[in-house]
Amino acid sequence: MDAEQHGQSWIEREFFKFSGSGNDFIIMDNRDGALSDPDIAAEVALLCRRKASIGADGLILIEKSPIADFAWRFFNADGGEAEMCGNGGRCAARFAFMQGIAGREMSFQTRAGIIRASILDHRRVKLQMTSPHSLKLDYELDLGQGKPFIVSSINTGVPHVVLFTEDLEACPVVSMGRTIRYHNYFKPAGTNANFVCASGADQVSIRTYERGVEDETLACGTGSVAAALIAARKGLVSSPVSVLTRGGERLVIHFNLSGDEFDQVFLEGDTNLVFSGYVKQEAFVI
């Protein structure tokens, strides 16, 4: 398909490329509402292609909100729209502060609810997550390997499965993660899959297969939160929990736990502004 058949409203639009703990995002100011094409999912997928276009794990549109400093639309790399993304939320907060859209203390509207964020310093952002729900501990899941695996799950803005392992390096994250992501038990929406190793009273390591990206990513904010909360509920760690991501950065998860209930859940970590530019028509060439 020719580039001219896609993305007319995106051409010469300014974008900013951010990275949060190894997750990278294209962010654009859409408060004028111009980016609302019927084919937006397909256009986002084209822009997120690595090597052929800008490339990213996701794309974020900053929009107007009547009840918060701004609203966002978050798209995964496949063009599917998701409720929440922790690392993307931190990058969006820093972008909004840089652009004068919000102050150091801000709130923004998502499909998962109102999110609050604080800009701690030049790069570091602390994000209050939505209230976790649907916690289910230690149940069997048949992954077609001759024996059931014991997993736990929780929704931290989006659904996550957590599987604990003693050898994170040897774990087949992509193949097993894909099996979990598309498992009949989690249909129709599917789930993210996290492989976790507890390595101390306040630390876990994690590898994540992300729904929508359909691959292992260097980090996942909501997945890191899910891992920390489930590890805490199992008595393995206590708040605050340091989560070592595949990309090498440590995210810090703060929370209160009372019985099976979590509140005051925060995700803290650094963000990087990588580059900015303007979308060209050839970014949509297939």
Q: Which tens digit of pLDDT belongs to each residue from 53-69?
A: 999 999 999 999 999 99
Task: Kindly report the CATH class assigned to 3-123+272-284.
Answer: alpha beta
Above 90 in pLDDT, residue 199? Answer: no
Residue among 85, 91, 171, 197 flagged as catalytic: 85
Sign of CA dihedral 128, 129, 133, 134: negative
Amino acid identity for residue 173 in this structure? V
Could you report the per-residue pLDDT of 80-133, keeping only the tens digit for each? 999 999 999 999 999 999 999 999 999 999 999 999 999 999 899 999 998 999
Q: What percent of the chain has pLDDT over 70?
A: 98
State the average pLDDT over residues 72-76. Answer: 97
In the residue annotation, 220 being an active-site residue is answered as yes
CA–CA dist 172, 141 (Å, integer) = 16
Q: Say how many C-beta atoms besides its own lie within 10 A of residue 103's C-beta.
A: 11
Above 80 in pLDDT, residue 264? Answer: yes
State the average pLDDT over residues 217-231. Answer: 96
In Å, how far from its chain's centre is CA 181? 15
- What's the pLDDT score for residue 1? 43
Mean pLDDT score of the chain: 95
State the average pLDDT over residues 28-53. Answer: 95
Above 70 in pLDDT, residue 3? Answer: no
Amino acid identity for residue 186 in this structure? F
- What's the pLDDT score for residue 5? 59
Above 80 in pLDDT, residue 222? Answer: yes
Which residues neighbour 90 within 8 Å (Cβ) at sequence distance 6 or greater?
A: 20, 117, 125, 127, 221, 267, 269, 271
In the chain, count of helices (H) and strands (E)? 4, 18
Task: Kindly report the CATH class assigned to 133-269.
Answer: alpha beta
In the residue annotation, 91 being an active-site residue is answered as no
Range(s) for CATH 3.10.310.10 in the chain? 3-123+272-284, 133-269
Above 50 in pLDDT, residue 71? Answer: yes
Q: What is the pTM of this model?
A: 0.89
Above 70 in pLDDT, residue 6? Answer: no
Above 70 in pLDDT, residue 174? Answer: yes
- What's the pLDDT score for residue 4? 55
Residue among 48, 91, 197, 220 flagged as catalytic: 220
- What's the pLDDT score for residue 122? 86
